[in-house]
């Protein structure tokens, strides 16, 4: 096998493998990228046996074949080589030679036949595929992924739940048991009727695929695997097992006590006041009445802070405690010039946060005792 490829083209292919290849594994080949020649170039692929990515790259193929070598090291070497073309060829015993200009590297390789098989996109996938603009999907993920649980022992909370809310609308929901984020947007095609649970790592890899450009993202679900395509990249991931909680039970049907506040004003106040709060709980107290909200925090080991901001409230006074990080996570993904409505039942019930300009996005945050 031998080919020549533009340095930037090879880097783009290898970049997508970096978050997938395993740093620590008992299976050495999972640290490798698989490179195969095609009729008009090469494909660069990687898998951790749960998530797989394959990208087509334009290249001049001198000799057909396949190779597999350390993905991270090949990426680092390619990144440091001078601009221009890079030549790659397979030597005896699966060794790889990489050269550009006067630089030459020899890398250890493994037999490409040992590389794990990756799920193939079903031939009839277009029949049950949905298409969504990349920018829309990016927005949906950024406004929900912060609520995904980082506790990997809670498998059913460690991903983003995707389902069809209506015929041409798709919904993403994430929760860690303390807060919940839900966003709904329109799609073309057929979104999955039954909800599926996408792994957090896989969703993060999709974001890498759509970092550049706003072309449509096509995804389909089949036999426990999600297939995602945006040319020239194909990505597949196995769905998480476990039952996602009934999120509709978490969202209060009616919260009569409401307060409206500029999101940037509340975010700035929370950032300042939370500086004295406990690092573990980040607790702050919100005291709301008529046209004012007092944001305060007391920490015996540090001190205390309070700040008053203007709000529009339509109910009797209310005092409630929250983890400031949970509220700030929501405010940070809203437009800085927006207003957020905070709706409450009482001091011990979940609060619902909505952007007044976006009815299809809401977050639920559990209060805490202070």
Check which CATH number belongs to the domain holding 145 and give it.
3.10.150.10
Q: Which residues sit opposite 172 in a β-bridge?
A: 162, 183
Query: At which of 114, 140, 162 does a domain end?
Result: 114
Domain count, the chain: 3
CA-based diameter of the chain, in Å?
80
Tens digits of per-residue pLDDT, 109-155?
Answer: 999 999 999 888 777 776 778 888 899 999 999 999 999 999 988 99
Residues 237 and 279 in one domain: no
By residue range, what is the domain housing residue 261? 253-365
Q: What is the pLDDT of residue 161?
A: 96
Give the whole-angstrom CA distance, residue 17 versus residue 97. Answer: 20
Residues 129 and 236 in one domain: yes
Residues 99 and 190 in one domain: no
Residues 219 and 264 in one domain: no
Residues 295 and 240 in one domain: no
Give the chain's residues under pLDDT 50.
Answer: none
* Predicted structure pTM score: 0.89
Backbone angles phi, psi at 157, to 5 degrees: -115, 0
Q: What is the pLDDT of residue 105?
A: 97
Q: What is the pLDDT of residue 193?
A: 66
Q: What is the pLDDT of residue 223?
A: 84
Q: What is the pLDDT of residue 184?
A: 94
Q: Which of 296, 277, 276, 271 is nearest to 286 (CA)?
A: 296
Residues 226 and 287 in one domain: no
């Amino acid at each position: 096998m031998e080919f020549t490829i533009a340095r930037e083209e090879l880097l783009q292919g290898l970049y997508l493998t970096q978050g997938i290849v395993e740093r620590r594994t008992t299976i050495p080949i999972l640290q490798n990228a698989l490179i195969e020649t095609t009729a008009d170039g090469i494909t660069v692929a990687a898998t951790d046996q749960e998530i797989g990515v394959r990208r087509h790259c334009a290249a001049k193929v001198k000799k057909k074949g396949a190779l597999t070598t350390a993905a991270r090291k090949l990426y680092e070497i390619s990144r440091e080589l001078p601009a221009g073309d890079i030549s790659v060829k397979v030597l005896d015993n699966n060794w790889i030679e990489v050269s550009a200009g006067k630089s030459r590297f020899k890398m250890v390789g493994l037999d490409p036949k040992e590389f794990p098989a990756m799920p193939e996109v079903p031939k009839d996938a277009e029949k049950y595929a949905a298409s969504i603009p990349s920018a829309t999907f990016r927005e949906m993920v950024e406004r929900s992924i912060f609520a995904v649980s980082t506790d990997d022992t809670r498998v059913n909370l460690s991903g983003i739940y995707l389902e069809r809310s209506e015929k041409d609308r798709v919904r993403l929901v994430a929760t860690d048991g303390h807060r919940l984020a839900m966003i709904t947007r329109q799609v073309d095609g057929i979104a999955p009727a039954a909800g599926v649970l996408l792994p957090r790592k896989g969703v993060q890899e999709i974001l890498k695929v759509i970092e550049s450009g706003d072309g449509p993202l096509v995804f389909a679900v089949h036999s426990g695997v999600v297939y995602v395509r945006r040319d020239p990249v194909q990505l597949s991931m196995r769905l998480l097992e476990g039952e996602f909680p009934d999120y509709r039970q978490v969202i209060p049907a009616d919260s009569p006590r409401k307060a409206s506040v500029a999101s940037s004003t509340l975010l700035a106040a929370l950032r300042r006041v939370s500086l004295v709060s406990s690092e573990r709980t980040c607790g702050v107290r919100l005291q709301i009445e008529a046209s004012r909200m007092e944001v305060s925090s007391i920490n015996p080991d540090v001190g205390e802070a309070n700040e008053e901001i203007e709000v529009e409230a339509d109910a009797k006074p209310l005092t409630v405690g929250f983890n400031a990080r949970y509220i700030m996570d929501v405010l940070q993904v809203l437009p800085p010039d927006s207003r957020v409505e905070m709706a409450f039942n009482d001091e011990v019930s979940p609060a619902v946060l909505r952007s007044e300009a976006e009815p299809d996005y809401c977050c639920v945050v559990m209060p805490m005792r202070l």
